[in-house]
Every structure is written in structure tokens, then in C-alpha cells.
Amino acid sequence: MSENSELETKARLFDKDRYWSGVFTGVFIGCFIITALLVFAVRIRGLTVALDPEKLAGAAQVRVAAEAKRSLPQVLEGIKQELPAQINANLSGLDELNISIGKTQVKLPEEAVSAIKTEFNRIIEEAVINTLNHYDTRPYEAKLGKNTYEMFDTMLRQEVIGKTYVLRAAQWFSLPIKIVGSSKAPSI
């Protein structure tokens, strides 16, 4: 009898092990089939990525306007630094000043020409630097931002949205990715 009960106990344990083995095998096969179907569906249909061109263009506009606000004063300072040399170089036409009286021309002495060039240089430099010191760059910052918005929006609509790109994850697996627009405005 003890041998019989020992066999019954082993048989119950074996049945329990078979039950759990069956459950785990079923779950594994189910997960494998679901994964295979998902991979097959993604490979055939691909992924769709929705972009909002207005939102992206707006973000670019804000960043470009902020960069222009930061950079334009530095550019103007650079111009102010280079200005004296540029003005002096462009006043070289004054080296041979002549005064015309009737049909005769009188050449001015070197000291007079030098004094006139120095005074012109000072007046022009002072006027341009004064203008640059009071120059309002805000309209240009806004215009740069607006132009960036328009270019970015147009580029996204014409060159990115509506296209399908293929991502080759492995030699045997490629994934088509379609870019669509998500804004309310019609695509160009």
C-alpha cells in the first residue's frame, strides 16, 4: 500500500508539473505569436509620425529671435570697433584735394588735406557711432524670427511631411516611417 500511495503522490506531482509546464508553454507561444504578428504588421504598415509644422516653426522662430536679440548688439559693437579704419581707408579720395576757381585749379597743401581728412573722419565716425548707439534692433529681430517661421514651416510642409522614410534596422528588417502633418492648416 505504501508503494501504491507513493506512486499516486508522484503521479499527482507529475500532473502538477505538466499543468504548469503547459501553462508556461502556452503563455510563451501566445507571446511569440503576438510579437510575430506585431512585427509583421509594423513591417508591412510601418510607423506614422505626426508633426505639427506650426508648433515646430514657432519654436524655431522664438529661438532665432532670441539669438538675434543676443547677437545683433555684438555685431554692432564689432562694427563700431572696425569703423575708424574703414572710414579712413575710404577717405583716400581726399588725398589730392583741389579747389577750382574758374578754369584754374589750386592744389591744397598736405597739412590742409590732412586736417580735412581728420575732421571728416571724426565727423563721420561720430555720426555713425551715434546712430549705432541709438539703433533699434527690435524690428530686425522680429523680422528674422518671422522669416525663420515662414521658411521652416514651408520646408516642413514641402520636404518632410507626406514623405515615407525607410529605417533599415537590420539587413532583413526595414521599417517604413511615414511623416504626416497634425495641424489644422492644409498641407502644401
Edge-to-edge strand order for the sheet containing 164-170?
Answer: 47-51, 173-181, 164-170
- pLDDT value at residue 101: 79
User: Half-sphere exposure of residue 128, counting CA atoms within 13 Å on the CB side?
Assistant: 16
Query: Which of 2-11, 48-57, 171-180 reaches the highest mean pLDDT?
Result: 48-57
Phi, psi values for residue 18, rounded to 5°: -65, -40
Cβ(181)–Cβ(57) below 8 Å? no
Arithmetic mean of pLDDT, 161-168: 87
Enumerate the domain spans of the chain.
50-159
Q: Which three cell numbers stand for residue 184?
A: 489644422
pLDDT tens-digit map of 120-141: 888 888 888 888 888 888 999 9
* pLDDT over 50 (residue 188): no
Task: Provide the pLDDT confidence category of residue 13 given band limits of 50, 70 and 90.
Answer: low
Query: Which of 36-50, 67-81, 97-111 reaches the highest mean pLDDT?
Result: 67-81
Which of 24-28, 83-87, 184-188 comes out lowest in average pLDDT?
A: 184-188
**Measured distance CA(2)–CA(61) in Å, rounded:** 87
Nearest residue to 183 (alpha-carbon basis) of 47, 81, 55, 43: 55
* pLDDT over 80 (residue 176): yes
pTM assigned to the model: 0.60
C-alpha distances out from residue 141 to 61, 66, 124, 187, Å: 10, 8, 27, 28
